[in-house]
Structure 1
Amino acid sequence: MPESSSKSSPAKRSLTGIAGIVAIATLVSKVFGLVREQAIAAAFGVGPVVNAYAYAYIVPGFLLILLGGINGPFHSALVSVLSRRDRSEAAPLVEAVTTLVGSLLLVVAIALIFFAGFFIDLVAPGLSQTPEGVQVRSVAILQLRIMAPMAVLAGAIGIGFGTLNASDRYWLPSVSPLFSSLTVIVGLGGLVWYLGDDLLDPSAARLGGIVLAACTLLGAVWQWLMQLQAQWRSGMGSLRLNFNWRTPGVREVANVMAPATLSSGMLHINVYTDLFFASYIEGAAAAMKYANLIVLTPLGIISNALLVPMLPVLSRLTAPESRTDLKLRIRQGIVLSALTMLPLTAVFLSLSQPIVRLIYQRYAFDAAATDFVTPVLMVYGLGMFFYLGRDVLVRVFYALGDGATPFRISIANIFLNAVLDFFLVRALATPGLVLATIGVNITSMAMLLWILHRRLGGLPLLDWNGTIAALCGCSAIAAGASWGASQLWERVLGSEQWWLQALELGVCAGLAIALFGILVLQLRLPEMQILTARLSPILQRFSRRR
C-alpha cells in the first residue's frame, strides 16, 4: 500500500503540471489566432475573399484539425501506443507511421490540386447562382489549389503532436499553431502596405485571396518544421522513410487511428453539410467562420487542458477491477466540462454583440457585419458544453480501444444534421445551421452515455443529469443578470468608444462568471475542488511567465 500511494501522488502532480503547460501554451496560440482573425476581418470584412477562403479551407483545414490537431485521432493513437512501449522502439515506429500516412495524404493533395473546382462545387453549389457567388467560387478554387499541400502537412503535424506528447513534451506542440497565425498576420500586413486603400476594391479580391491562402500554407510549413526539430532532438524519429508497415506497433496504431479518424471525419462532414446550405446565404460562411473562432479560443484552451492529460489516465482504468474509478473519471470529465463551458455560455448569450463589436468592428468590418455575426455567436455559445462533453465521452471509447462505436454514431448523425439543417435554415437562416450542429452533439452525447451505461454495468445517469440541469440553471441566471447589466451600461454610459466597450465587456462578463461561481458553490460539487486545484497551478505558472 505505501508503494502504491507513493506512485499515485507524483502522477497527480504530473497531471496538474501537464494541464498547466497545455493551458498556457494553448492560450498563447489562441490569442495569436484571434489576432490573425482580427487582421483578416479588418482587411476583408465579410466580403468575397473571406467567403471564398471559408470554402477553400474546408478540406485542408478539415485535415489540419482532424489529423494535425491536438486531441485528434493521430495524436490520440500515437500517445496511447507509444506510452505503452519502450522508448527505443519509438523512432522506427514513428517513421513507419509517417511514411504510411504521408504516402496516402500525398495522393489526397494531388487530387485537391487537379479537382479543386469539383470540390468547391461539391461543398458550395449555391455559389454558381449569383454573379457575386461566381467571383467567390473563382477565388476559392485558386485558394484550394494553393493550400492543397497542407493535406500532407496535416498528417505530419498530427504525428508530431502525438510523438512529442508521448515523450513528455507539451509546450511546443500546444504553442506551435501560433507560427501559422504569425505568418498570416505578417503576410496581410505586407498586403495592406502594398495596396493601401485599394485593398477594398473588388478587383483586388483575387490578389487578396492568393496572399491569404499562400500565408496559410507557409504557416503550416513553419509549424511542422518547429515540431520536427524538437522531434529529432527527442530521438522520436526523423525524415527517414520506413516502409515496414507490418510491424505490430504500426498495426496497433492503425487499429486505433483508422476508426478514430473515420469517426472524427464523420463529425466534420457535418461542417460540410452546414456550408452546403450556407452557400445559398450571402456572407453566411464568413459569419460562421468569425463566430466559430471566438468560441474556439476559450474552448480550445480548456478542452486541451482537460482532455490531453485525461486520455492516459482513462487508458489505465480499462481493466474490469478499475471500473468504479473509470465511472468516477467519466463523471468528472462531464461535470468539469459543464463547470468550464456553461459560464462561458452565459457570457456569449448575454454579450455577443459587445464581443463581436470589440473584436472585429473596424475598417472593412462595419456595424452591419456585427449585426450579422452576433446571433451566430450566440448560438455557438449555446452549444459549447455539448461539444466538449461529446469529446470527453469519445476519449473514453478511445481509451477502451473502441473507435468503431463513435464512428457508427457519427455516420447516423450525418443524416440527422442534414435533416436539421434543411428545416432550421429555413426558419432561422445562418443561426439555424449552428443550432443543427448542437442538436447533433446532444444526440451523440446521449447515445454514447447510454452505450457506456450498458457496457460498464450501469452509470448513475439520473444523478448526473440532475447535476447538469442544475448547472444549466445557474448559467441561465448568470446570463440574465449579465444581459441586464449590459443594457443598463449602454443606456447610462454608452458604448461609442472602444475603452467603454472593453469596460462593459469586462464588468458584465465578470458578473456572469462570478454569479455562476457563487450559485455553483451552493451545490457543493466535488468537481469544484478538482477545478480549483487545477486552476491554481495554471494561474501561478502564467503569472511566473509574465
Structure 2
Amino acid sequence: MRPPTDTGRAHGPVGTAADAGDVQGAAPEEDAPEGVPRDAPKDAPKAASTARSSAVMAAGSLVSRGTGFARSAVVAAALGTIGPTADGYAVGNSLPTIVYMLLLGGALNAVFVPELVRAAKEHDDGGAAYTDRLITVCVVALLAITATAVWAAPAIVDAYTDYTGRQAAMTTAFARYCLPQIFFLGLFTLLGQVLNARGRFGAMMWAPVLNNVVVIGVFGVFLALAMGGGDTLDATETALLGWGTTAGIAVQALALVPALRAARFRWRPRFDWRGSGLTRPLRSAGWLVLLVLANQAAYWVTTRLATTAGLQGGPGYSAYNNAYVLWVVPHGIITVSLMTALLPRMSAAAADKDTAALRRDVSHALRASAAAVVPAACALLALAQPVMALVFGHGRTSAGDTAAMAGILMAFAPGLAAMSGQYVLSRTFYALGDTRTPFLINLVIVALNAGLSVTAAQLLPARWAVTGMAAAYSVALFAGWALTGRLLSRRLAVPRPWRSSPVAAHARLLLAAVPATALGHLAASGTARAGVAVAAAAGAAVVLLVFVLLARPLRLTELHALLSGVRRRAARR
C-alpha cells in the first residue's frame, strides 16, 4: 500500500501511501454545466461540501489501509519481516518511489492543484490548454526518468545498501522489475490532481484498493505454490513478485481514467510550451525538487543505517518500514483526506488574497485533524505490541520480530501529531504559492533527523538502533512543526499565535492523552491471554472511552462534534 506522496515529511519509508468532525455521505458528482470549457475546474469553494468530500476520501483511504494491512500480512507470511529476503524486497520496492519523489513527485503533488486553480481563474478557456501543456511536460519527464532509472538500477541499489553477492543480485533484480512503477506513480498523481482541482476526490483515494488486491493475489500465488523456501529468491520467484507489485501500481493509475471521463476531461498532448506560462510552476517546482533532495539525503542516511543494523542481527529496513506503514495510517485517512479537500479552496482564497478565509481554513484543519490524530497516536503507543502481532505476526514472522517492530512503532507514535500539523501548515504555504519557505524549514528537519539517527546508530546496540532512528524522526518533526507554525503565523498576521485556538485545542487533547494511553495499555495487557485481537480491541475501546468521557470537561470541541456526528448518523441508520 502506497500512501499519497508527501513532500511535507522530512523522510520516511516509501512503498507502502477528512474532515473528521462531520463525515456525511458522498456528494453526488454533477456534469459540467453547459457553456463551461471542457477542462475548467469547478469553483472549488462551491463545488461540494468539504466535509462530504473529506468523508469520501476518508472512507476510500480507510478501505485502502484495511486492504493494505491484508497485503502486509500476506507479504510478511511469504517473506518474513526481518532477514535478507524481506529487506531485499522492501528496498527494491521502495526505490521507485524514492527516485520518483526525488526527481518529480514532490513537485507534482504540491504544485499541481494550486496551479490548476489559478489557471482556471486566469485563462478564458478555464485553463484547458494550460492543463494539457503541463501534463505533457510531466509525462515526457516521467518517461525519461523511468528509462534512466531502470538502466541505473545496480548503481541505485549500491547507493542505498552495502549488499554483496546473492543479496545484491536479488535486490537489484527487484529494483529492475519495480522501477517502471515510477511512470505509473507519476501518472496516478497527475490524473488524481486533475480530478482534485475539479472537486472530485473519491477516485484517487479508492484506486489504491485495486493495487492492494492485485498484490495480495500475486503473493497468494507465491504462497500457494510453496515458493521462497531459502534465504534468497531465485529468478522466477523474484520476477513474479517484482512484476506483480508493478502491475498493482499500473492498475491503480489506470483506474482513474473512468473518473476523468465522467468529469469530461480529455487530455490532448501539446508541445507548444514556449511562452505558455509554464515558467511559474517550474520555478515553484524547483524549490520542491530541492526539498525532496534534502528529504532523500536524510532517507538515504536512514536506509544505510537500517540495512546495516539488519546485517548486524538487529531489526533492519523491513522492520522500520513495517512500523512506519502502520504509523502513517491515521495521517493518511484523516489529515491527507482533509487537506486534499481543502487545498483547492485554500488556493482560491490565496489567489483572491483573502487572508481571513485562509486563516479560518488552516485553523479548522489543525483542530479537526488533531481531534482524530491525537487519539490514534495514543492507541498506537499503548497497543503497539498486539497491533504489530495482529498485522505482521504471520508465517515466517516470529514473536521476537513483532516485539522489535512494536518498539519501533512506539518510538514513532508521539510524532504523529507533529506530522499531521506539519502537513497542514506546509500545504498552506503551497496554497500561497510559496515553496521556498517549506524548503528552508525542511533543511532544519532533515539535519536534525539525520544527525539524531546517526547518533542513535552509533550509541545504541543493533537491537535498538532502528528504534532510535524512529525516535529521531519524531523529535525532528516536532521541531519542524513549531518552526513552520511560527513562520506561517507571521505570514498570515495571526495575533498571539501561541494563544490561538489550534494551540489550545492541542493542549487540551494532550491532557486527555496521558490517562487514555496509560489505561489503554493496562487494558491490553490485562486481556493479552485472550489473544492479540482481543487485547487490541480492548485497549482501543478504553482509549476511545477515556477521550469520550473527557471530551466535555476538557472542552474538546472538535472531538465532541465528531462523536455527535457519528451518533446522529447511527441513529438515522
Report the TM-score, using the length of structure 2 for normalisation: 0.83
For residues 181-215 of structure 1, the C-alpha deviation after alignment (integer angstroms, 9 at most, x for no partner) is 11111111122222x2x533235355443322211
Which of 212, 215, 219 is the matching residue for 1:181?
212
Q: Equivalent residue for 2:246?
A: 217
Which of 450, 468, 477 is the matching residue for 2:515?
477
Q: Equivalent residue for 1:19?
A: 54
Q: Equivalent residue for 2:468?
A: 432
Does residue 144 of structure 2 align to residue 116 of structure 1? no
CA distance in structure 2 between the aligned counterparts of 1:314 and 1:534, rounded to whole angstroms:
25
Which of 115, 130, 133 is the matching residue for 1:93?
130
| 1:170–1:265 Cα change, 3 Å | farther
State the shift of 1:265 in Å: 5.2
Q: Is the 8 A contact 2:192 2:204 kept in 1?
A: yes
Which of 346, 349, 361 is the matching residue for 1:329?
361
CA distance in structure 1 between the aligned counterparts of 2:124 and 2:555, rounded to whole angstroms:
43
Which of 185, 191, 209 is the matching residue for 1:160?
191
CA distance in structure 1 between the aligned counterparts of 2:355 and 2:471, rounded to whole angstroms:
35
For residues 264-299 of structure 1, the C-alpha deviation after alignment (integer angstroms, 9 at most, x for no partner) is 553354333211211211141110121122222332
Which of 37, 44, 65 is the matching residue for 1:30?
65
Which of 330, 341, 344 is the matching residue for 1:298?
330
Which of 416, 420, 432 is the matching residue for 1:384?
416
Q: For residue 383 of structure 2, give the secondary structure of its aligned residue in structure 1.
A: helix
Q: Is the 8 A contact 1:77 1:253 kept in 2?
A: no
| 1:211–1:82 Cα change, 3 Å | farther
| 1:69–1:20 Cα change, 3 Å | farther
CA distance in structure 2 between the aligned counterparts of 1:509 and 1:71, rounded to whole angstroms:
37
CA distance in structure 2 between the aligned counterparts of 1:385 and 1:207, rounded to whole angstroms:
43
CA distance in structure 2 between the aligned counterparts of 1:473 and 1:284, rounded to whole angstroms:
35
Which of 270, 280, 292 is the matching residue for 2:308?
280
CA distance in structure 2 between the aligned counterparts of 1:69 and 1:405, rounded to whole angstroms:
15
Does residue 271 of structure 2 align to residue 243 of structure 1? yes
Which of 529, 546, 551 is the matching residue for 1:515?
546
CA distance in structure 1 between the aligned counterparts of 2:352 and 2:112, rounded to whole angstroms:
26
Q: Is the 8 A contact 1:82 1:166 kept in 2?
A: no
Alignment of 1:535-546 (within 5 A): none
Q: Is the 8 A contact 2:48 2:199 kept in 1?
A: no
Q: For residue 16 of structure 1, give the secondary structure of its aligned residue in structure 2.
A: helix
Deviates more, 1:315-324 or 1:154-163: 315-324
Q: Which is helix-richer, 1 or 2?
A: 1
Q: Equivalent residue for 2:181?
A: 150
State the shift of 1:419 in Å: 0.8
| 1:105–1:12 Cα change, 3 Å | closer
Q: Is the 8 A contact 1:278 1:285 kept in 2?
A: yes
Percent of residue pairs bearing the same amino acid type: 22
State the shift of 1:300 in Å: 1.0
State the shift of 1:81 in Å: 3.7
Q: For residue 291 of structure 1, give the secondary structure of its aligned residue in structure 2.
A: helix
Partner letter of residue 295 of structure 1? W
Deviates more, 1:393-402 or 1:337-346: 337-346
| 1:110–1:443 Cα change, 3 Å | same
State the shift of 1:51 in Å: 0.4
Q: Equivalent residue for 1:358?
A: 390
Alignment of 1:397-546 (within 5 A): 397-425=429-457, 426-427=459-460, 428-464=464-500, 465-490=503-528, 494-495=529-530, 500-528=531-559, 531=562
Partner letter of residue 36 of structure 1? R
Q: For residue 280 of structure 1, give the secondary structure of its aligned residue in structure 2.
A: helix
CA distance in structure 2 between the aligned counterparts of 1:321 and 1:64, rounded to whole angstroms:
33
Partner letter of residue 26 of structure 1? S
Q: Is the 8 A contact 2:214 2:248 kept in 1?
A: yes
State the shift of 1:385 in Å: 0.8
Alignment of 1:311-322 (within 5 A): 311-318=343-350, 322=354
State the shift of 1:480 in Å: 0.3
CA distance in structure 1 between the aligned counterparts of 2:140 and 2:332, rounded to whole angstroms:
30
State the shift of 1:83 in Å: 5.3
For residues 472-505 of structure 1, the C-alpha deviation after alignment (integer angstroms, 9 at most, x for no partner) is 2311210101111222223xxx14xxxx322221
State the shift of 1:376 in Å: 0.9
Partner letter of residue 542 of structure 2? L
CA distance in structure 2 between the aligned counterparts of 1:257 and 1:80, rounded to whole angstroms:
16
| 1:414–1:35 Cα change, 3 Å | same
| 1:410–1:429 Cα change, 3 Å | same
Deviates more, 1:220-229 or 1:205-214: 205-214
Q: How many residues align?
A: 519
CA distance in structure 1 between the aligned counterparts of 2:347 and 2:565, rounded to whole angstroms:
20
Q: Equivalent residue for 2:86?
A: 50
CA distance in structure 1 between the aligned counterparts of 2:279 and 2:560, rounded to whole angstroms:
41
| 1:155–1:295 Cα change, 3 Å | same
| 1:148–1:374 Cα change, 3 Å | same
Q: For residue 200 of structure 1, give the secondary structure of its aligned residue in structure 2.
A: coil
For residues 47-66 of structure 1, the C-alpha deviation after alignment (integer angstroms, 9 at most, x for no partner) is 32220122223331235678
| 1:411–1:484 Cα change, 3 Å | same
| 1:267–1:292 Cα change, 3 Å | same
Report the TM-score, using the length of structure 1 for normalisation: 0.86
Q: Is the 8 A contact 2:508 2:555 kept in 1?
A: no
| 1:489–1:190 Cα change, 3 Å | closer
CA RMSD in angstroms, aligned pairs only: 3.0
State the shift of 1:77 in Å: 4.1
Which of 82, 93, 107 is the matching residue for 2:144?
107
Q: For residue 241 of structure 1, give the secondary structure of its aligned residue in structure 2.
A: coil
For residues 112-137 of structure 1, the C-alpha deviation after alignment (integer angstroms, 9 at most, x for no partner) is 22221211121223x34xxxxx4332
CA distance in structure 2 between the aligned counterparts of 1:104 and 1:20, rounded to whole angstroms:
34
Q: Is the 8 A contact 2:219 2:241 kept in 1?
A: yes
State the shift of 1:247 in Å: 5.0
Alignment of 1:259-278 (within 5 A): 259-264=287-292, 266-278=294-306
